[in-house]
Amino acid sequence: MTVMFYDSAETPAQTSTPGWTQRAAKQGNLNARKHWVWVYAEYGGAQTDRAVGIRVLINNVEVASDYHTPEVSDEYKSFMTMVEVEPQVDDTPYTVALEYGFAAGPQTALVRRVRLMVMQE
């Protein structure tokens, strides 16, 4: 497989605003071959008993997600997924994004060690 585009974020990030916050994103053309999106991140929450989540979007459509409720404050959970991307028929670029967040507060969502890669067969 050939890496088409790649994004990473080493520095930990956090948000205390309910909803989704983008942490990594890439845009590019994916022509008539089969492509795969591979994502790895660690995410968690500063408060216990409040769920946090992470999700992958392709052209603003959620294609993978995970949620968990930390049992220990500032506990991180690993998230990894690989999603097949359908070949495109025109020159419209794809946007691939990783977002993290929470629905109900008070909470602080955390994310670190983000890797987002699009590969071509």
Backbone angles phi, psi at 62, to 5 degrees: -70, 125
Residue 108: how many other CB atoms lie within 10 Å: 18
- 61 Cβ contact partners less than 8 Å away, ≥ 6 residues apart: none
Number of domains in the chain: 1
Burial class, 49, CB count within 10 angstroms (exposed 0-12 / middle 13-18 / buried 19+)? exposed
Q: The domain spanning residue 9 has which CATH number?
A: 2.60.120.760
CA 57 to chain centre: 7
Q: Write down the pTM of the prediction.
A: 0.85
pLDDT tens-digit map of 76-93:
999 999 988 876 666 777
pLDDT digits (tens, 9 = 90+) for 36-71: 888 999 999 988 888 999 999 988 999 999 999 988
Residue range(s) defining the domain that contains residue 85: 2-120
